[in-house]
Amino acid sequence: MHKGPIMDLQRISALFEQRREGHTLPQALYTQAESFDFDMAAIFGQSWLMAGMECELPKAGSYISMMVGKWPVVITRDKEGTIRAFHNSCRHRGSMICALGSGTTPKLVCPYHRWTYDLDGSLFAAGRMDSSFDKSEHGLKPVAIECISGTIFICLSDTPPPIDDFRAKLTEYAAPHNLKDAKLAYESVLVENANWKLVMENGRECYHCSTGHPELSKTFPVGMSKHFDSGHDERVVAFEAQMDALGLPQTPVEGHYWQIARFALNEGCVSISGDGQHLSKKLMCDANGGDIGSMRWAVDPHCFVHCTADHAFMFSAMPVGPNETHVTGKWYVHKDAVEGVDYDVEKLIALWTVTNLEDKALAENNQLGVNSLGYTPGPYSQEAEMLAQRFTDYYCDKARDYIATHGKG
């Protein structure tokens, strides 16, 4: 292996050796450029990441062009309906082929010298090349992809982590929500001046919610402890029995990098919304009149999704630099829901928009304090921050695996 990265890995490895169990991470892991490069290679380059939903590629030729950190990826749907993902880098001289965003195109055409690719990634045309040039050797490099119950996951590694258990469980839990029949109603990107791990730790605990999110607290059971454990609250026990009777999976399940559960919202609430009522009249799941709590899954390192009967909300944090993270929010409703009739976009996005802005302020303030000469890793609440600790434990496991595989020098 090249000498530089070996030296880097030695320094990084020492940081993980300092990690104190049950505590936040050593400072350098939240602040240094070298740690950021490591996170991209060891975490974002090695994990299944949620790109969005199949409904964002509604027809033949639909594509989504997105960034995973500094790495551009394009996802396409061909005439047969097959969805594929590729590195968005031309096999000629490497230009990014599709500009960021989404759209429809019969072929992918590089803007530089017009090399043209089919939607299956094969090189269709390349002008003025020698007769010895072999087009079949210059197709787009594929990215691993899994479409599960209407969702799309990608992995940039040539050896993706196992996904069978997650696929089986998400298929079962998401089935009642008909995500293939959804449409993207709104998408926003929030730039947060904080390390991605601070953004994610914030997103994995509700210790801060009762004071930090007065709006969310109206509908969301912010006092839950552990993994969606509400203790033996009679109302929650009755909810779980009711979901079981309806055949709607509710028991919390988890694997190394994922968790799925359905949980009861606060009393009288049927959606995660400003007033607890549905935000779209056309339901994605009409079981029990749309009173089915929230089915929530989270995938490390970067996302969570809440599905209530009326809409789904996806949160995805993508690192951009050591102290910069882009948080994408996507709101989905039933594909037949009509804007202005069945739902109002402003109302649909209001709660998570204000919540994400509150979290942005908390994460940015967290970063300022973590930069302090006085910062030292602090203890997580075992009652209220189990999922934040689970996230940093996952991060350390994954990092140590990468270091073990790629050598410490």
Q: Least distance in Å: CB of 294 to ligand FES?
A: 45
- By the 10 Å C-beta count (0-12 exposed, 13-18 middle, 19+ buried), 156 is classed as buried
110 binds ligand FES (CB under 6 A): yes
Residue type, 30: Y
Question: What DSSP character marks residue 387?
Answer: H
Residue type, 314: M
Q: Least distance in Å: CB of 393 to Fe ion?
A: 20
What CA–CA distance (Å, rounded) separates 184 from 300? 23
Query: Out of 93, 107, 256, 347, which residue is the one contacting ligand FES (CB under 6 A)?
Result: 93
Q: Which partner, ligand FES, Fe ion, none, binds residue 272 by CB below 5 to 8 Å per kind?
A: none
Binding part of the chain for ligand FES, among 110-118, 133-141, 301-309, 390-398 by CB under 6 A, reads: 110-118
Residue bearing tokens 């000469």: 373
Residue 336: how many other CB atoms lie within 10 Å: 9
Q: Are strands 71-77 and 83-87 parallel, antiparallel or unpaired?
A: antiparallel
Q: Least distance in Å: CB of 190 to Fe ion?
A: 13
92 binds ligand FES (CB under 6 A): yes
User: Whose Cβ is closer to Fe ion: residue 387's or residue 399's?
Assistant: 387
Structure tokens at 144: 């691993």
Q: Least distance in Å: CB of 359 to Fe ion?
A: 4
Cis ω before 111 (30° cut-off from 0): no
Binding part of the chain for ligand FES, among 12-20, 63-71, 92-100, 245-253 by CB under 6 A, reads: 92-100
Nearest CA to 106 out of 143, 134, 78, 131 is that of: 78
Residue bearing tokens 């953004």: 199
User: Whose Cβ is closer to Fe ion: residue 54's or residue 359's?
Assistant: 359
Query: Out of 23, 113, 208, 226, which residue is the one contacting ligand FES (CB under 6 A)?
Result: 113
Q: Least distance in Å: CB of 208 to Fe ion?
A: 6
Interface ranges with Fe ion (CB under 5 A): 359
Q: Least distance in Å: CB of 358 to Fe ion?
A: 6
3-state secondary structure of 162: coil
- By the 10 Å C-beta count (0-12 exposed, 13-18 middle, 19+ buried), 250 is classed as buried
104 binds ligand FES (CB under 6 A): no
Q: Which partner, Fe ion, ligand FES, none, binds residue 186 by CB below 5 to 8 Å per kind?
A: none
135 binds ligand FES (CB under 6 A): no
User: Whose Cβ is closer to Fe ion: residue 149's or residue 366's?
Assistant: 366
Is residue 318 within 8 A of residue 67, CB to CB? The reply is yes
Q: Are strands 303-307 and 312-321 parallel, antiparallel or unpaired?
A: antiparallel
133 binds ligand FES (CB under 6 A): no
Residues that bind ligand FES (CB under 6 A): 90, 92-95, 110, 112-113, 115
